[in-house]
């Protein structure tokens, strides 16, 4: 287990020492007692004997007892899904920028979904 967010990786090897998950890139989105990290990675396809398609994983970690422990994760399994997420976020960002007019601080919305 990692003690700092910089030490966190999703590289993973099986009991025989063969790497099954290869981290390609890492972006720390938030850090602290609760940290969120986005990874670009590949999984090894044993049947094909080669690395599979690139994927994205967003992981939320909690620091407990001096170590970061994964609490939840979300995998983006295709470029199509990534584009859909990006498109939705781009559409929603203006609403987030103007929250004061649509939501109070308790999250009560006066805007219809």
Give the residue extent of every domain in the chain: 5-77
Work out the average pLDDT over 90-108: 71
Per the listing, tokens 């995998």 go with 75
Work out the average pLDDT over 14-37: 97
* pLDDT over threshold 50, residue 112: no
* pLDDT over threshold 90, residue 19: yes
* pLDDT over threshold 70, residue 88: yes
* The three-state (H, E, C) secondary structure of 11-51, written as one string: CEECCCCCEEEEEEEEEEEECCCEEEEEEEEEEEECCCCEE
The gap from C-alpha 50 to its chain's centroid, in whole angstroms, comes to: 24
Across all residues in the chain, what is the average pLDDT? Answer: 90
Confidence of residue 1 (pLDDT cuts 50, 70, 90): confident
Q: Which tokens go with 70?
A: 């994964």
Q: 31-58 pLDDT, tens per residue?
A: 999 999 999 999 999 999 999 999 999 9
């Amino acid at each position: 287990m990692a003690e700092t967010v910089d030490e966190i990786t999703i590289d993973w090897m099986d009991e025989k020492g063969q790497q099954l998950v290869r981290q390609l890139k890492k972006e720390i989105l938030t850090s602290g007692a609760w940290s969120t990290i986005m990874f670009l990675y590949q999984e090894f396809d044993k049947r094909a004997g080669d690395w599979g398609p690139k994927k994205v994983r967003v992981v939320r970690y909690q620091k407990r007892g001096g170590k970061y422990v994964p609490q939840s994760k979300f995998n983006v399994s295709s470029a199509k899904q990534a584009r859909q997420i990006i498109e939705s976020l781009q559409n929603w960002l203006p609403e987030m920028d103007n929250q004061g007019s649509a939501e109070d601080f308790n999250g009560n919305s006066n805007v219809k979904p």
